[in-house]
Every structure is written in structure tokens, then in C-alpha cells.
């Protein structure tokens, strides 16, 4: 791969853990077929393109082969950048076409339902599995016609990398997941975060509590856990999903999974964006409507002067803190939470497909509002509800 100039840095793409594993597997398969593992290999990516990878530590003999590819994440802040994606193959004589999967050191094991993978099996996503198998068959079609192959994927230090992901929350223990739907890592991609939000809601739906708590970050998650576990001490971590800015994806999946109660734990800035109709709440996507903040103030009896000040402010936080100073903080936050509920439960949005509870905390983590919508209406769960796949926030793979 040609090194790009400094001016191009920040835009370089990289390769997923799945693509690197497929390249290592292909090289090892060539070793089984020819007796020599190549020092580079052209591998097929899930998106149909082909890329040449350098191969390290290649060796083979007696029906086994070993190869490693160093993952390059481009300019994405990826915890697996530089990981040694290692594949060991073992020939399965007479088991034509069979591909068996093993989690080696540093690759996680699935321990919970809802991931679209067998509990107890390796956390190797379905798309990488297919991509690896396709590369094995391309590399040695005659060998694969007569024999099967056991594929063990290992990632040294994968347990350490996994601590920077949401894998444990999803029940993936002992290492990272092998991911990637295209094989390409895009710089500062949001695809993995979106996917992890969807996956988190799917796992929450299997936890047996009929609810999911959606939070915007660590502070609101701590607040939500303290509040909800104070009411229901048995709630597992799987019921709490850090949705970040991806409210729409989280709520769409809650509907698809037939979850009856959705709890939103938010602070005033995100709450205002939700009330004004935004379901992707990133700062770069939309600005806080401080006119709405002022309107909420008018509804609860704030003075005209204070309302004008709130409308002229840059943030919703200014208005919230001003209302607290005036002794109207509780009324303000309740009215804003109700406005968010009214927006999300409108007939042209989510209606009453789930019951919505909005928990609001201030910047010290103290609860300032707790507002519920009307109960959900009974409905049949769609037969096709849910999607499968594995993703984690810190590995921005797509």
C-alpha cells in the first residue's frame, strides 16, 4: 500500500478485522495447498474489491498452516489498529467444503442470545465468516472440494483491546469481535456506533425485562442505572444502551423488537433537540432551538425578560439554569420532557408503539424530571423483527 502525503492524512481508509483475518486465512490456505505460505496475498473483500496484504510469520506442515496480517485502520481512531490478526488452519480430511470456527486467544466468545450467533461460539460476525470461507475456496478449490478446514482466529492482546469496546455489555467475553460488512474502515466512521446501538437494543430485548434504557453517554448512563436499579435491582447492564446521538436507530430497533417500555435518560441540550423533532442529535447536524426553550419558559410562567434572554442564548443549558434560579426548574424540565414525549409519540412518529419514560438529570447527575407517556397500545410483534450482526463503538468498521 502506497503511503499518502501528510496533506492527505486524516482521510486514509483502512481495513476491518474481518478483512485482515480473511487475508491471513487465504495465505494460510495457499500454504496448505502448495506447501509454502506467501509473503503477500491478494484477498477478496466483502464489497467485491481485491486488496494486496503483506503476510507475516507464515509457516505450514502436516495439515496445518499459520499466517498473520497486521491490521491498518487508516486514520480512524481504532483500538484494533496494529492488531496482529492471526489465523491457524487445520485440515479436516474427508469433510469436503466444511469450515469450522474457533475463537483463539484474544477473540471473544458469545455468551448471550440476541447477537445472531451461537451462544458459546466465537464472536466472528456472519459477513466475515462468509468472506473468509470465500477466500479459502478461491485459494484452493480442489483441496476444499475434498476436505474441510478448521479456522482459528487469534489476536494477541485482544483482551486488552476489548476493554475499550462494548463487547462485555453485549455478552462477548474474552476478546474482540471479528467485524466488517464491506472490509473497509472509513476515518471517523459512525457506522460501528450505529450498529452497536442497534445490537445493544437487540440484546436488551432478549434480557426478559421488556424495556431498554437509552442514554447519551457515561454521565446519563450512571444516572439511569442508579435510578432504575433503585426501582428494579435485578436490571442487568444489557438493558442499558449508550445510544449517543443515534436516537432514531435505537427507537426504530425498539419498535422492531417489540419492546414495550423505552426510557430516555438525557440532559437538557439533547432533550431540547428531541423536543424540536431531531432524532439524530449530533451538534454538527442541528442547532438547539432556543426559541423553543423560551416557549417552554412562557408556558410555565417565566417573565418576558427571562424568555427573551433564553431565546437570545446560545445554549439550552442557559435557560435551564436561569429557570432553576427563578425557582421554576422542576416545572421547566417537566414541561420540556413532556414536549419531547409529545414529539416522539405523535401519530406521524412512533405513536403508542411503546411507552416512553423521560428521565432528565442536571449536570451534577441529579434527577430534575421524570415524565411518562400513555401506555403502549397492544400490537403483534413483526415476524421479521430484528437484524443480526456484531459491532462495537471503538472499532469503526463498516
Residues 72-95 pLDDT 10s:
988 766 789 999 999 999 999 999
Confidence at residue 3, expressed as pLDDT on a 0 to 100 scale? 38
- The per-residue pLDDT for 117 is 87
Cell numbers linked to 32: 496448505
CATH code 3.40.630.10 for 14-185: no
What pLDDT digit, counting tens, does each position of 107-163 carry?
Answer: 999 998 777 789 999 999 999 999 999 999 999 999 999 999 999 999 999 999 999
Instruction: Decide if pLDDT at 262 tops 60.
Output: yes
Task: Check residue 325 and give its pLDDT.
Answer: 95
Greater pLDDT, 369 or 1: 369
- Which of 62-66, 246-250, 377-381 ranks highest by mean pLDDT? 62-66
- The model's pLDDT over 272-313, given as tens digits with 9 standing for 90+, comes to 999 998 765 444 445 788 999 999 999 999 999 999 999 998
Indicate the average pLDDT of the chain.
Answer: 88
What lies within 8 Å, CB to CB, of 110 at 6+ separation is 117, 118, 119, 120, 121, 122, 123, 171, 172
Rounded CA-CA distance 371/359 in Å is 7
**What pLDDT score was predicted for residue 160?**
96
Task: Specify the DSSP class assigned to residue 238.
Answer: G
Cα within 13 Å of Cα(69), Cβ side: 30
Q: How far, in Å, CA of 354 to CA of 172, rounded? A: 28
Q: What is the pTM of this model?
A: 0.64
In angstroms, the CA 163 to CA 172 distance is: 11
Tens digits of per-residue pLDDT, 1-14?
Answer: 333 343 344 568 88
Domain-wise residue ranges, the chain: 14-185, 190-372
Amino acid at each position: 500500500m502506497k503511503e499518502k502525503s501528510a496533506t492527505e492524512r486524516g482521510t486514509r481508509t483502512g481495513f476491518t478485522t474481518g478483512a485482515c483475518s480473511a487475508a491471513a486465512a487465504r495465505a494460510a490456505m495457499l500454504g496448505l495447498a502448495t506447501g509454502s505460505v506467501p509473503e503477500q496475498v491478494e484477498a477478496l473483500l466483502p464489497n467485491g474489491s481485491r486488496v494486496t496484504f503483506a503476510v507475516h510469520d507464515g509457516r505450514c506442515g502436516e495439515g496445518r498452516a499459520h499466517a498473520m496480517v497486521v491490521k491498518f485502520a487508516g486514520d480512524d481512531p481504532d483500538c484494533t489498529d496494529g492488531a496482529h490478526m492471526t489465523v491457524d488452519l487445520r485440515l479436516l480430511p474427508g469433510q469436503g467444503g466444511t469450515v469450522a470456527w474457533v475463537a483463539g486467544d484474544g477473540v471473544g466468545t458469545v455468551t448471550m442470545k440476541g447477537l445472531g450467533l451461537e451462544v458459546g461460539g466465537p464472536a466472528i460476525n456472519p459477513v466475515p465468516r462468509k468472506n473468509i470461507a470465500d477466500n479459502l475456496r478461491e485459494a484452493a478449490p480442489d483441496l476444499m472440494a475434498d476436505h474441510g478446514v478448521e479456522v482459528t482466529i487469534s489476536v494477541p492482546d485482544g483482551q486488552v483491546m476489548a476493554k475499550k469496546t462494548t463487547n462485555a455489555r453485549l455478552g462477548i467475553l474474552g476478546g474482540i469481535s471479528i467485524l466488517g460488512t464491506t472490509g473497509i474502515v472509513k476515518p471517523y466512521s459512525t457506522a460501528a456506533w450505529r450498529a452497536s446501538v442497534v445490537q445493544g437494543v437487540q440484546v436488551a430485548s432478549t434480557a426478559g425485562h421488556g424495556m431498554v434504557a437509552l442514554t447519551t453517554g457515561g454521565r446519563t448512563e450512571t444516572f439511569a442505572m442508579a435510578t432504575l436499579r433503585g426501582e428494579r435491582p435485578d436490571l442487568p447492564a444489557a438493558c442499558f444502551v449508550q445510544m449517543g446521538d443515534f436516537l432514531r436507530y435505537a427507537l426504530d430497533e425498539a419498535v422492531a423488537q417489540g419492546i414495550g417500555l423505552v426510557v430516555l435518560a438525557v440532559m437538557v441540550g439533547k432533550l431540547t433537540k428531541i423536543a424540536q423533532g431531531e432524532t439524530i442529535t449530533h451538534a454538527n447536524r442541528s442547532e438547539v432551538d432556543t426559541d423553543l426553550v423560551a416557549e417552554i419558559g412562557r408556558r410555565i410562567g417565566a417573565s418576558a425578560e427571562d424568555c427573551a434572554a433564553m431565546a437570545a442564548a446560545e445554549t439550552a443549558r442557559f435557560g435551564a439554569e436561569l429557570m432553576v434560579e427563578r425557582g421554576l426548574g422542576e416545572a421547566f424540565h417537566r414541561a420540556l420532557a413532556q414536549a419531547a414525549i409529545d414529539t416522539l409519540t405523535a401519530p406521524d412518529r412512533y405513536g403508542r408503539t411503546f411507552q416512553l419514560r423521560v428521565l432528565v438529570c442536571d449536570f451534577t447527575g441529579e434527577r430534575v424530571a421524570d415524565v411518562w407517556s400513555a401506555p403502549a397500545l397492544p400490537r403483534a410483534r413483526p415476524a421479521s423483527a430484528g437484524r443480526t450482526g456484531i459491532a462495537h463503538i471503538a472499532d469503526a468498521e463498516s
